[in-house]
Amino acid sequence: MNYEGKVAGLLVLAVTVTLGGCSGIHESPDYERHSQSQLSTPMGGGDYLWFDVKLTPEYPDNSEAAEALRMQWLLGWLERRGLCIHGYDILERRAFDFLEHNPARYDLRYKVQCAAVPPAES
C-alpha cells in the first residue's frame, strides 16, 4: 500500500472513531441533564436555589415519568455540586412568567431549599 493509501485509511478510521464517540454522547444521562436543565442561585441572593427545566415532547409537563426524571436531574446537579447533603425541599414549582429573565428559554422553575443540618443527638 502506498503512502497516500495509508493516510486515507487513517483518516477514515479517525473520522469513524470520532463520529462513533459523538453519537454516544446523546445517549448519556448527563447530556440530557445538561441540555434540558440548569441549577442556579438567585441573582439577588437567598437561601434557596433555582432548578430550571425545558419541556419537550419526550419530557412533557403532564407526565409522572418525566417529572421523576426531572427529579433525578435535580439530584444529579445537587450531588455534582456537593449541595443539599441533608436533603432538600421543593418550595415552589411554576411556569416562567412571560417577562421574567429567561435567556435559555426554560419552561418550568423550581424553587429548591436545602434541608437544615439535622440536630446533634444528645
Question: Where along the chain do its domains lie?
Answer: 29-114
For residue 28, what pLDDT is reported? 76
Contact 51, 39 (CB under 8 A): yes
> Tens digits of per-residue pLDDT, 82-109?
999 999 999 999 999 999 999 999 999 9
Phi-psi group of 37: left, alpha or beta (phi > 0 → left; psi -120 to 50 → alpha; rest → beta): beta
Q: Which residues contact 16 (CB under 8 A, 6 or more apart)?
A: none
C-alpha cell at 102: 429567561
For residue 45, what pLDDT is reported? 87
CB atoms within 10 A of CB 121: 4
Exposed / middle / buried, residue 14 (Cβ in 10 Å: 0-12, 13-18, 19+): exposed
> 82-85: long-range contacts at Cβ-Cβ below 8 A with a sequence spacing of 24 or more?
83/39, 83/49, 83/114, 84/112, 84/114, 84/115
> Tens digits of per-residue pLDDT, 31-84?
888 899 999 999 888 899 999 999 999 999 999 999 999 999 999 999 999 999
Candidates 121, 94, 115; CA nearest to 48 is 115
Report how far residue 17's alpha carbon sits from residue 10's, in angstroms, rounded to the nearest whole number.
Answer: 11
